[in-house]
């Protein structure tokens, strides 16, 4: 059932999404066409490409962003990954991935797309494929003393850190991450 519900939720999100620009709208149409032709397109077993779900995590004050140094990509990127059979919706997948990779248990992902991105990668399939990444935003509560939220680095990450949004590390995925930050902060 979740295979169908993931597909339906991805299609619904993309259909109702008001894109911020013509480039995102073109990608939206491309991914919708892919989903129309690929009933298993939300699962990693779809070797031609598959939907992934990710989340850009901000602190409540919106001054910092939590990024992971991805072992395969070798750059600082947002949290996220593959959809799983037990995810009911794409937002569920993004939430699960953000919680697993940050250790922030109460992290809630906003059920609205911020950005979409597509990129070639050799992922866990071991063959070249394409990730069709649906990107969300979440805001982690700052601690009572105003300091940044605590996190727990998972074994899926080489490193995990809070970065000031105006001082990202040099090996951040550019221009995707700065654009994702700007778009998310402009919407929420």
Indicate if the alpha-carbon torsion angle 157, 158, 164, 167 is positive or negative: negative
Q: Supply the pLDDT for residue 174.
A: 86
The pLDDT of residue 1 is 53
pTM of the model: 0.94
CA separation for the pair 77, 12 (Å, rounded): 26
pLDDT (0 to 100) of residue 183: 94
Given this model, what pLDDT does residue 64 score?
Answer: 97
The angle formed by the CA atoms of residues 108, 114 and 119, to the nearest 5 degrees, is 110
What pLDDT does residue 2 have?
A: 82
pLDDT by 10s per residue, the chain, length 188:
588 999 999 999 999 999 999 999 999 999 999 999 999 999 999 988 999 999 999 999 999 999 999 888 889 999 999 999 899 999 999 999 999 999 998 898 999 999 999 998 887 778 888 999 999 999 998 889 989 999 999 988 899 999 999 999 999 988 889 999 999 999 99
């Amino acid at each position: 059932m979740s295979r169908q519900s993931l597909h339906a939720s991805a299609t619904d999100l993309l259909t109702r999404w008001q894109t911020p620009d013509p480039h995102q709208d073109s990608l939206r149409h491309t991914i919708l066409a892919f989903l129309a032709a690929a009933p298993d397109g939300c699962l990693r077993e779809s070797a031609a490409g598959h939907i992934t779900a990710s989340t850009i995590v901000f602190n409540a004050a919106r001054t910092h962003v939590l990024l992971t140094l991805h072992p395969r990509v070798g750059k600082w990127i947002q949290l996220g990954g593959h959809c799983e059979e037990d995810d009911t919706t794409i937002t569920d997948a993004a939430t699960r991935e953000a919680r697993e990779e940050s250790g922030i248990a109460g992290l809630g992902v906003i059920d609205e797309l911020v950005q979409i991105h597509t990129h070639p990668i050799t992922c866990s399939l071991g063959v070249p494929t394409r990730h069709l990444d649906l990107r969300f935003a979440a805001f982690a509560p700052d601690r009572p003393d105003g300091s940044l939220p605590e996190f727990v680095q998972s074994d899926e990450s080489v490193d995990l850190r809070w970065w000031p949004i105006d001082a990202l590390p040099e090996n951040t995925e550019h221009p995707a991450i700065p654009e994702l930050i700007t778009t998310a902060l402009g919407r929420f």
